[in-house]
Amino acid sequence: MDFPYTTGERFADIEILRYRLDGFERLSLQQKKYIYCLAKATLYGRDITFDQFGRFNLKIRRTLEAVAALPQQPDDRQERAALSEYLRRVWFSNGIYHHYGSEKFQPAFSPEYLRRMMHLVPASQLPLDQGQTVDQLADLLFPTIFDPTVAPKKVNKADGEDLIKTSAVNFYQNVSQQEAEAYYNRKKAAAASDPEPESFGLNSTLVGGEEHVWSANGLYAQPIRHIVHWLGEAAKLAENDQQRQAIRLLIDYYETGSLRVFNDYCKAWVACLDGQVDFVNGFIEVYNDPLGLKGSWEGIVEYVDQEATHRTEVISQNAQWFEDHSPIDPRFRKPVVRGVSARVVRAAMLGGDEYPSTAIGINLPNADWIRSQYGSKSVTISNLTDAYDRAARGNGFREEFVPDPATRQWIDQFGDQTDNLHTDLHECLGHGSGQLLPGTDPDALKAYGNTIEEARADLFALYYMADPKLLELGLLHHPDAYKACYYTYLMNGALTQLTRIKPGHQIEEAHMRNRALIARWLLAHADGAAELVTTGKTSLRINDYAALRTLVGQLLAEVQRIKSEGDYDAARLLVEQYAIHVDPQLHQEVLRRYEALHLAPYKGFLNPRLVAQRDKEGNILDIVADYSETYDEQMLRYGREYATLV
Q: In what order do the strands lie in the sheet with 14-18?
A: 6-11, 14-18, 602-606
Domain housing 388:
305-602
In this prediction, residue 337 carries a pLDDT of 93
Helices 510-525 and 482-494: crossing angle, nearest 10°?
110
Q: What is the pLDDT of residue 72?
A: 85
Q: Inform me whether the pLDDT recorded for 359 exceeds 70.
A: yes
Strand stretches in 436-543, DSSP E: 530-534, 538-542
- Distance between CA 34 and CA 301 in Å, rounded? 10
Question: What is the pairing mode between strands 361-364 and 530-534?
Answer: unpaired
Confidence of residue 186 (pLDDT cuts 50, 70, 90): very high
**Mean pLDDT calculated for residue range 459-472:** 98
Looking at the domain assignment, is residue 389 inside a domain? Answer: yes
* Burial call 550-583: b when 16+ CB within 10 Å, e when fewer: ebbbebbbbbbbbbbbbbbebbbebbeebbbebe
Q: Which amino acid appears at position 513 of this protein?
A: R
Confidence at residue 338, expressed as pLDDT on a 0 to 100 scale: 87
Average pLDDT over residues 357-368: 94
Query: In the prediction, which pLDDT does 195 show?
Result: 94
pLDDT band at 544 (very low <50, low <70, confident <90, very high): very high
In a domain, 246, yes or no: no
- 456 and 425 in contact (C-beta within 8 Å)? no
pLDDT above 70 coverage of the chain, percent: 100
| Contacts (Cβ under 8 Å, ≥6 apart) of 417 | 476, 481
7 by DSSP, 3-state: which? strand
| Residue 453 domain flag | yes
Write the pLDDT tens digit of every residue in 300-327. Answer: 999 999 888 988 999 999 999 999 999 9
Adjacent-strand bridge partners of 364: 377
H-helix segments, 94-237? 111-118, 134-146, 177-190, 221-237
> What whole-number distance in Å separates Cα of residue 296 and Cα of residue 352?
8
Bridge pairing between strands 538-542 and 530-534: antiparallel
pLDDT of residue 527: 97
Q: What's the Cα-to-Cα distance from 229 to each of 32, 221, 252, rounded to whole Å?
A: 18, 12, 12
pTM, rounded to two decimals: 0.91
152-171: pLDDT as tens digits:
999 999 999 999 999 999 99
Quote the distance between the C-alpha of residue 475 and its chain's center.
27
Residue 45 pLDDT > 60, yes or no? yes
pLDDT band at 73 (very low <50, low <70, confident <90, very high): confident
What is the tally of structural domains in the chain? 1
- Residue 393's pLDDT band, with cuts at 50, 70 and 90, is confident
In a domain, 583, yes or no: yes
Summarize the confidence of residues 44-72 as an average pLDDT: 97
What is the pLDDT, as a whole number, of residue 535? 87
Average pLDDT in the 29-38 region?
A: 98
Q: Is residue 51 part of a domain?
A: no
CA atoms within 13 A on the CB side of 412: 13
Per-residue pLDDT tens for 80-132? 999 999 999 999 999 999 999 999 999 999 999 999 999 999 999 999 999 99
Give the E-state strand segments of 158-296 in sequence order: 172-173, 204-207, 210-213, 277-283
Question: Is residue 400 included in any domain, yes or no?
Answer: yes
Do the domain assignments include residue 573? yes
pLDDT exceeds 70 at position 281? yes
pLDDT at 1 over 60: no
Q: What is the mean pLDDT of residues 430-440?
A: 95
Angle formed by the axes of helices 568-578 and 449-465, nearest 10°: 70
- Report the share of the chain in percent with pLDDT over 90: 95
Q: What is the mean pLDDT of the chain?
A: 96
Amino acid 485: pLDDT? 98
Residue 172's SS3 state is strand
HSE toward the beta carbon, residue 270, CA cutoff 13 A? 23
Report if residue 47 sits inside a domain: no
Q: Is 460 helix (H, G, I), strand (E, B) or coil?
A: helix
- Is 554 a residue whose pLDDT tops 60? yes
- Asked whether the predicted pLDDT for residue 536 surpasses 80, the reply is yes
Q: What does the pLDDT look like over 497-517, one tens digit per residue?
A: 999 999 999 999 999 999 999
Q: 339: pLDDT confidence band, cut at 50, 70 and 90?
A: confident
Q: Which of 499, 482, 526, 473 is nearest to 582 (CA)?
A: 499
